[in-house]
Structure 1
Protein backbone atom coordinates (compact mmCIF):
# COMPACT_ATOMS: atom_id res chain seq x y z
CA UNK A 1 0.00 0.00 0.00
CA UNK A 2 1.21 3.54 -0.70
CA UNK A 3 0.67 6.87 1.03
CA UNK A 4 1.72 10.27 -0.31
CA UNK A 5 1.34 13.65 1.37
CA UNK A 6 2.85 16.94 0.27
CA UNK A 7 2.74 20.62 1.13
CA UNK A 8 4.13 23.83 -0.32
CA UNK A 9 6.11 25.92 2.16
CA UNK A 10 6.94 29.56 1.41
CA UNK A 11 10.56 29.16 2.52
CA UNK A 12 13.75 28.16 0.77
CA UNK A 13 14.41 24.44 0.33
CA UNK A 14 17.57 24.75 2.43
CA UNK A 15 15.62 26.35 5.30
CA UNK A 16 12.98 23.61 5.15
CA UNK A 17 15.66 20.90 4.98
CA UNK A 18 17.43 22.30 8.08
CA UNK A 19 14.30 21.45 10.09
CA UNK A 20 12.75 18.53 8.20
CA UNK A 21 16.05 16.87 7.38
CA UNK A 22 17.18 16.78 11.01
CA UNK A 23 16.24 13.10 11.31
CA UNK A 24 16.90 12.78 15.01
CA UNK A 25 14.67 15.67 16.03
CA UNK A 26 11.36 14.90 14.34
CA UNK A 27 9.58 15.32 17.68
CA UNK A 28 10.19 19.06 17.22
CA UNK A 29 7.60 19.21 14.41
CA UNK A 30 5.72 15.89 14.19
CA UNK A 31 2.76 16.21 16.60
CA UNK A 32 2.32 12.40 16.81
CA UNK A 33 5.87 12.04 18.20
CA UNK A 34 6.55 13.04 21.80
CA UNK A 35 10.32 12.56 21.76
CA UNK A 36 12.96 11.34 19.33
CA UNK A 37 16.70 10.86 19.00
CA UNK A 38 19.21 9.22 16.70
CA UNK A 39 21.72 6.50 17.66
CA UNK A 40 23.95 5.72 14.70
CA UNK A 41 21.55 5.13 11.84
CA UNK A 42 18.60 4.15 14.07
CA UNK A 43 15.99 6.72 15.01
CA UNK A 44 14.09 6.16 18.24
CA UNK A 45 10.68 7.78 18.46
CA UNK A 46 8.06 7.78 21.21
CA UNK A 47 4.49 8.28 20.06
CA UNK A 48 2.49 10.89 21.96
CA UNK A 49 -0.24 9.88 24.37
CA UNK A 50 1.36 6.62 25.43
CA UNK A 51 1.36 5.25 21.87
CA UNK A 52 4.58 3.31 22.36
CA UNK A 53 8.14 3.41 21.08
CA UNK A 54 9.30 2.81 17.51
CA UNK A 55 12.69 2.27 15.93
CA UNK A 56 13.45 3.21 12.33
CA UNK A 57 16.65 2.76 10.35
CA UNK A 58 17.83 5.64 8.16
CA UNK A 59 18.86 3.70 5.05
CA UNK A 60 19.61 6.60 2.68
CA UNK A 61 20.42 10.26 3.23
CA UNK A 62 21.33 12.76 0.53
CA UNK A 63 21.80 16.31 1.80
CA UNK A 64 22.46 17.65 -1.72
CA UNK A 65 19.12 16.25 -2.90
CA UNK A 66 17.50 17.13 0.45
CA UNK A 67 16.02 13.65 0.91
CA UNK A 68 16.24 10.65 3.20
CA UNK A 69 14.71 7.19 3.32
CA UNK A 70 13.93 5.15 6.42
CA UNK A 71 12.53 1.74 7.27
CA UNK A 72 10.42 0.71 10.25
CA UNK A 73 12.27 -1.80 12.43
CA UNK A 74 9.93 -2.23 15.38
CA UNK A 75 7.19 -0.51 17.29
CA UNK A 76 3.47 -0.44 18.02
CA UNK A 77 2.25 -0.57 14.41
CA UNK A 78 1.47 -4.03 12.98
CA UNK A 79 3.62 -3.67 9.87
CA UNK A 80 5.12 -6.44 7.77
CA UNK A 81 7.31 -3.86 6.03
CA UNK A 82 7.46 -0.07 5.81
CA UNK A 83 9.77 2.16 3.79
CA UNK A 84 9.33 5.91 3.70
CA UNK A 85 10.94 8.81 1.86
CA UNK A 86 11.00 12.44 3.00
CA UNK A 87 12.14 15.00 0.43
CA UNK A 88 12.28 18.78 0.02
CA UNK A 89 12.12 20.08 -3.54
CA UNK A 90 12.28 23.50 -5.12
CA UNK A 91 8.91 25.07 -5.92
CA UNK A 92 7.88 28.38 -7.51
CA UNK A 93 6.45 29.46 -4.13
CA UNK A 94 9.45 28.27 -2.09
CA UNK A 95 9.59 24.53 -1.41
CA UNK A 96 7.48 21.45 -1.78
CA UNK A 97 7.84 18.77 0.86
CA UNK A 98 6.86 15.28 -0.29
CA UNK A 99 6.51 12.43 2.19
CA UNK A 100 5.74 8.98 0.85
CA UNK A 101 5.44 5.48 2.30
CA UNK A 102 5.26 2.02 0.83
CA UNK A 103 4.09 -0.54 3.38
CA UNK A 104 2.21 -3.73 4.10
CA UNK A 105 0.37 -4.57 7.28
CA UNK A 106 0.81 -7.89 9.03
CA UNK A 107 -2.85 -8.47 8.15
CA UNK A 108 -4.21 -7.11 4.82
CA UNK A 109 -7.45 -6.20 6.62
CA UNK A 110 -5.50 -3.63 8.65
CA UNK A 111 -3.98 -1.83 5.65
CA UNK A 112 -6.78 0.73 5.05
CA UNK A 113 -6.74 1.79 8.70
CA UNK A 114 -2.96 2.01 8.76
CA UNK A 115 -2.94 4.01 5.52
CA UNK A 116 -5.40 6.47 7.05
CA UNK A 117 -3.34 6.74 10.24
CA UNK A 118 -0.03 7.20 8.41
CA UNK A 119 -1.57 9.75 6.05
CA UNK A 120 -2.95 11.66 9.04
CA UNK A 121 0.42 11.65 10.81
CA UNK A 122 2.18 12.92 7.68
CA UNK A 123 -0.43 15.60 6.93
CA UNK A 124 -0.46 17.02 10.47
CA UNK A 125 3.35 16.95 10.58
CA UNK A 126 3.66 18.80 7.26
CA UNK A 127 1.17 21.41 8.46
CA UNK A 128 3.24 21.90 11.61
CA UNK A 129 6.49 22.06 9.62
CA UNK A 130 5.00 24.77 7.40
CA UNK A 131 3.76 26.71 10.45
CA UNK A 132 7.21 26.57 12.10
CA UNK A 133 8.85 27.96 8.96
CA UNK A 134 6.36 30.72 8.19
CA UNK A 135 5.64 32.27 11.59
Structure 2
Protein backbone atom coordinates (compact mmCIF):
# COMPACT_ATOMS: atom_id res chain seq x y z
CA UNK A 1 0.00 0.00 0.00
CA UNK A 2 1.18 3.55 -0.65
CA UNK A 3 0.46 6.85 1.07
CA UNK A 4 1.66 10.28 -0.04
CA UNK A 5 1.31 13.64 1.66
CA UNK A 6 2.38 16.90 0.05
CA UNK A 7 2.52 20.28 1.73
CA UNK A 8 3.61 23.72 0.53
CA UNK A 9 5.69 25.72 2.99
CA UNK A 10 6.26 29.44 2.57
CA UNK A 11 10.05 29.26 2.98
CA UNK A 12 12.96 28.46 0.71
CA UNK A 13 13.57 24.80 -0.10
CA UNK A 14 16.99 25.06 1.58
CA UNK A 15 15.43 26.43 4.78
CA UNK A 16 12.89 23.58 4.83
CA UNK A 17 15.60 21.00 4.09
CA UNK A 18 17.82 22.36 6.87
CA UNK A 19 15.20 21.22 9.39
CA UNK A 20 13.37 18.44 7.53
CA UNK A 21 16.51 16.83 6.13
CA UNK A 22 18.19 16.55 9.55
CA UNK A 23 17.39 12.86 9.95
CA UNK A 24 18.62 12.60 13.56
CA UNK A 25 16.37 15.32 14.97
CA UNK A 26 12.97 14.55 13.43
CA UNK A 27 11.33 14.55 16.87
CA UNK A 28 11.81 18.33 16.85
CA UNK A 29 8.95 18.63 14.34
CA UNK A 30 7.06 15.31 14.32
CA UNK A 31 4.44 15.58 17.09
CA UNK A 32 3.99 11.78 17.23
CA UNK A 33 7.60 11.44 18.42
CA UNK A 34 8.89 12.21 21.88
CA UNK A 35 12.59 11.96 20.97
CA UNK A 36 14.93 10.80 18.21
CA UNK A 37 18.63 10.23 17.67
CA UNK A 38 20.83 8.54 15.12
CA UNK A 39 23.94 6.33 15.15
CA UNK A 40 25.46 5.79 11.72
CA UNK A 41 22.62 4.96 9.34
CA UNK A 42 20.24 3.82 12.12
CA UNK A 43 17.71 6.27 13.51
CA UNK A 44 15.94 5.59 16.80
CA UNK A 45 12.60 7.30 17.35
CA UNK A 46 10.55 7.09 20.53
CA UNK A 47 6.81 7.55 20.05
CA UNK A 48 4.99 9.88 22.43
CA UNK A 49 2.57 8.54 25.07
CA UNK A 50 4.56 5.35 25.68
CA UNK A 51 4.10 4.31 22.05
CA UNK A 52 7.40 2.40 21.96
CA UNK A 53 10.61 2.86 20.03
CA UNK A 54 11.10 2.36 16.31
CA UNK A 55 14.39 1.72 14.57
CA UNK A 56 14.75 2.98 11.00
CA UNK A 57 17.62 2.71 8.55
CA UNK A 58 18.51 5.76 6.43
CA UNK A 59 19.22 4.04 3.11
CA UNK A 60 19.75 7.13 0.96
CA UNK A 61 20.44 10.79 1.84
CA UNK A 62 21.01 13.33 -0.93
CA UNK A 63 21.59 16.92 0.21
CA UNK A 64 21.82 18.44 -3.32
CA UNK A 65 18.47 16.85 -4.26
CA UNK A 66 17.02 17.55 -0.77
CA UNK A 67 15.77 13.98 -0.45
CA UNK A 68 16.22 10.96 1.76
CA UNK A 69 14.79 7.46 2.01
CA UNK A 70 14.45 5.35 5.12
CA UNK A 71 13.16 1.88 5.95
CA UNK A 72 11.48 0.54 9.06
CA UNK A 73 13.71 -2.00 10.81
CA UNK A 74 11.71 -2.69 13.98
CA UNK A 75 9.20 -1.12 16.28
CA UNK A 76 5.64 -1.08 17.57
CA UNK A 77 3.82 -0.93 14.21
CA UNK A 78 2.78 -4.23 12.59
CA UNK A 79 4.77 -3.82 9.37
CA UNK A 80 6.41 -6.48 7.24
CA UNK A 81 7.78 -3.79 4.88
CA UNK A 82 8.03 -0.01 5.06
CA UNK A 83 10.06 2.30 2.86
CA UNK A 84 9.54 6.05 3.01
CA UNK A 85 10.87 8.97 1.01
CA UNK A 86 11.02 12.60 2.16
CA UNK A 87 11.78 15.22 -0.53
CA UNK A 88 11.76 19.03 -0.58
CA UNK A 89 11.12 20.56 -4.03
CA UNK A 90 11.08 24.19 -5.21
CA UNK A 91 7.57 25.66 -5.48
CA UNK A 92 6.34 29.09 -6.64
CA UNK A 93 5.19 29.81 -3.07
CA UNK A 94 8.38 28.48 -1.44
CA UNK A 95 8.91 24.75 -1.02
CA UNK A 96 6.79 21.67 -1.57
CA UNK A 97 7.45 18.71 0.70
CA UNK A 98 6.52 15.30 -0.69
CA UNK A 99 6.52 12.51 1.90
CA UNK A 100 5.50 9.07 0.74
CA UNK A 101 5.60 5.53 2.08
CA UNK A 102 5.22 2.10 0.56
CA UNK A 103 4.36 -0.49 3.17
CA UNK A 104 2.83 -3.89 3.85
CA UNK A 105 1.47 -5.53 6.96
CA UNK A 106 1.51 -9.22 7.85
CA UNK A 107 -2.27 -8.72 8.26
CA UNK A 108 -3.41 -7.10 4.98
CA UNK A 109 -6.80 -6.27 6.50
CA UNK A 110 -5.03 -3.85 8.87
CA UNK A 111 -3.38 -1.90 6.01
CA UNK A 112 -6.18 0.71 5.56
CA UNK A 113 -6.01 1.52 9.29
CA UNK A 114 -2.20 1.74 9.11
CA UNK A 115 -2.46 3.99 6.04
CA UNK A 116 -4.77 6.34 7.94
CA UNK A 117 -2.40 6.42 10.94
CA UNK A 118 0.67 7.07 8.77
CA UNK A 119 -1.20 9.79 6.84
CA UNK A 120 -2.18 11.47 10.11
CA UNK A 121 1.42 11.36 11.39
CA UNK A 122 2.76 12.81 8.12
CA UNK A 123 0.09 15.52 7.88
CA UNK A 124 0.52 16.77 11.46
CA UNK A 125 4.31 16.62 11.09
CA UNK A 126 4.29 18.68 7.88
CA UNK A 127 2.11 21.33 9.52
CA UNK A 128 4.58 21.47 12.42
CA UNK A 129 7.57 21.55 10.02
CA UNK A 130 5.96 24.50 8.23
CA UNK A 131 5.50 26.37 11.48
CA UNK A 132 9.11 25.67 12.56
CA UNK A 133 10.52 26.64 9.16
CA UNK A 134 8.40 29.73 8.58
CA UNK A 135 9.32 30.99 12.05
CA UNK A 136 13.04 30.75 11.20
CA UNK A 137 13.08 32.16 7.68
CA UNK A 138 11.47 34.82 5.59
CA UNK A 139 9.25 34.14 2.62
CA UNK A 140 11.33 33.72 -0.56
CA UNK A 141 9.76 36.86 -2.00
CA UNK A 142 10.23 38.84 1.19
CA UNK A 143 13.23 40.58 2.68
Give the TM-score, by structure 1 length: 0.99
Shift of 1:134: 1.7
Q: Provide the residue aligned with 1:25 in structure 2.
A: 25
Q: Provide the residue aligned with 2:16 in structure 1.
A: 16
Shift of 1:40: 0.4
**1:87-110 per-position Cα deviation (integer Å, ceiling 9, x unaligned):** 000000000000000000110011
Q: Provide the residue aligned with 2:2 in structure 1.
A: 2
Structure 1 unaligned blocks of 5 or more: none
Computing the radius of gyration over CA atoms, which structure comes out larger, 1 or 2?
Answer: 2
Q: Write out aligned runs for 1:84-99 (5 A).
A: 84-99=84-99
Q: Provide the residue aligned with 1:125 in structure 2.
A: 125
Structure 2: distance between partners of 1:90 and 1:106: 37
Give the TM-score, by structure 2 length: 0.93
Structure 2 unaligned blocks of 5 or more: 136-143
Root-mean-square deviation (CA, aligned residues, Å) is: 0.5
Shift of 1:61: 0.6
Aligned residues: 135
